[in-house]
A and B are shown apart, each in its own frame.
Chain A
Amino acid sequence: MTDIHLSNTSIHTTDEAAAARRARMDLISSVIRYALLFGVGFLMLYPLIWLVGASFKTNSEIFSGAGFLPSSPTLEGYTRGWQTSTPYTFGRFFWNSFLIILPKVIGTAISCTMVAYAFARFEFPFKKVLFGSVIAVLLLPNVVTRIPQYILFRDLGWLDSFLPLWVPSALAGDAFFVFMLVQFLRSLPTDMEEAARVDGANSLQTLVYIVVPMLGPALVSVCLFQFMWTMNDFLGPLIYISSVDKYPVSLALKLSIDTTEAFEWNRILAMSVLTITPALVVFFVAQRYFIEGISAGGRKG
């Protein structure tokens, strides 16, 4: 690249001078880039780093300085926060979150795989229209269906249970995942599946033994995103769950802000750290899948 550039611009400068100037410009440019990235990165991540430090501080120290390290580290925030102001500990709320997440993730993975398989590998009447409906659901704001859904769940007697959180997802309600899997499946070759069919496998066997293993990485992305979104979901539980003994962590944290007298900030911050830990751990263990999932969604959209 540099050579081509030089041969064309060496009319009024010598090659060496131009090369030296370019090298200097590149160096300055890299320095500026690194400085910007470090600066922005520090500004962005410092609140999170500070949050971890502050969760080990005493309540009075939290408001006395912007430093990260606690002067006299204490676990008081964690022990007192864990007890909560309810009859239950945070352990109960984590268990509830788990009870919501596990069936939801499994239901999402199974239903979205089936639906993606139908769209990517079968021909049937109205296929185009139906795939169009996936895009429509993807863009449809939830706000417009939420009230009738609530009334429906009330009529079914599902309020204050986890069913309203599980069932729509188990029926492939999260169009984003269907879309993602269809795009992924379309990009895979079909010769393995055809070979299986020649060998006498039916379509379900082909799906389970050939397609699902090939979908592996995309399915992991789906499960991870659903885990993360469900862990962070607040509005769903807020509307449907009313008894404290069924609260997931997101609602429990909100409850602890409302009920803690005069803002015992260290308890709240300590519990905040705990509630974001599962998501962070999962992200760092499997970040490749997140980045790939996000990029694929954008590229093919």
Chain B
Amino acid sequence: MRSQRFLGYAYLAPYLVGLVIFTAIPFLTSLYLSFTSYDLMSSPQWTGLSNYQRLFTRDRTFEKSLSVTLLYVFSTVPLKLAFALFIAAILNYKLKFINIFRTAFYVPSILGGSIAIAVLWRYLFSTEGLVNMAIATLGFGPVDWFGDPANALFTITLLRCWQFGSAMVIFLAALQSIDKSLYEAASIDGAGKVTTFIFVTLPLLTPVIFFNLVMQMVQAFQEFNGPYIITQGGPLKSTYLLPLYIYEEAFKKFNMGYASAIAWVLFAIIMVLTLVAFWSSKKWVYYAGDKRS
């Protein structure tokens, strides 16, 4: 048994090396850099809190970018999850071709992150694009999707909601594992379909709702490809999400210190919201019989 102590570490070695070199040290380094001014040419200059001071008091771009990011996350995540759950609930029924539908709905998730799809989106919502053609047949005038700050963010929200597939597959797997006798019991008690869904199905789904919520939120806060390709952050910075701002500060202007400070603010927001989700989960997430180990 004694040799096993070392054996375990032998197999763990790649992870440990990676953890230290590519995660732990960079994590702490970026915190340090956020208190410095660093342009990659000369060594970092300690500037104390001045990056953060500038962020929160003088930087109008940051103010705009932060509010756009929050708007984006708080609209995209609930919309996407609600849609995923809705479709999963419809699929979770004795329907023929359920696997074909499930596959079809999953395809956008496979491709969604690719540049090709962002390019397609850029065409679809262009002034003479497919979406405006479809709107015209319904008798509405063309919408200026990318020129109007009120609409541009919505196109990116739509792109990400279009990729509801992986959240849906997780919901569907959870729905299919629900014990059928619970539905029968509810039906005997005279509960209708909607009542059953709200009082039986939803509570049993809370663990996967929680999982999807956290994963989708962490992902949404880091959205980059959509705004970078489709709208380039415009018009009037209406789609200038924080990851875009960080990218331009770090890799276009090489303000590594300032970019690190923005990254840490973004990280702090994600962490606080994740902790709130975990903390509140004790109150709303239901684990059947507490079967978790």
Contact = CB atoms under 8 A, between A and B. Distances in A.
B90 A50 contact: no
B229 interface: yes
B87 interface: yes
B12 A171 contact: no
Contacts of A168: 18, 22
Nearest to A145: B26
Interface in B79-123: 87, 90-91, 93, 95, 101-108, 110-111, 113-117, 119-120, 122-123
B104 A173 contact: no
Interface string A265-301: 1001101110110011001100100110011011101
B277 to A, nearest CB: 11
A33 B93 contact: yes
Interface residues on B, range: 35 or more
B263 A147 contact: yes
B11 A276 contact: no
Scoring A44, A50, A143, A232 by chain B CB atoms within 10 A of each residue's CB, the highest score goes to: A143
Contact of B33 (A115, A130, A147): A147
A141 B267 contact: yes
B188 A235 contact: no
Nearest to A115: B15
Contact of B12 (A1, A9, A40, A118): A118
A276 B116 contact: yes
A208 interface: no
A33 B90 contact: yes
B40 interface: yes
B7 A143 contact: no
Scoring A148, A170, A229 by chain B CB atoms within 10 A of each residue's CB, the highest score goes to: A148
Contacts of A41: 101, 104-105
B71 interface: no
A134 B4 CA distance: 21
B169 A294 contact: yes
Contacts of A133: 19
Given A250-B115, A257-B119, A115 B23 contact: no
B140 interface: no
Scoring B8, B9, B128, B274 by chain A CB atoms within 10 A of each residue's CB, the highest score goes to: B8
Contacts of A203: 7, 11
B22 A173 contact: yes
B147 to A, nearest CB: 16
Interface residues of A, number: 94
B256 interface: yes
B7 A283 contact: no
A253 B119 contact: yes
Contacts of B229: 234, 254, 257
B208 interface: yes
A144 B264 contact: yes
Interface string B211-235: 1101100100110110011000000
Contacts of A44: 104-105, 108, 162
Nearest to A8: B188
B259 interface: yes
Closest 6 CB pairs of A and B: A171-B18, A298-B170, A122-B8, A124-B8, A148-B26, A295-B173
17 contacts: A1-B184, A4-B187, A5-B187, A124-B9, A147-B259, A149-B22, A151-B40, A171-B21, A172-B18, A173-B23, A203-B7, A229-B113, A233-B113, A269-B123, A271-B116, A275-B116, A294-B166
Given A144-B264, A203-B11, 14 more contacts: A30-B95, A115-B12, A118-B12, A118-B15, A122-B8, A143-B263, A144-B27, A146-B263, A147-B256, A149-B22, A203-B7, A234-B113, A276-B116, A295-B172
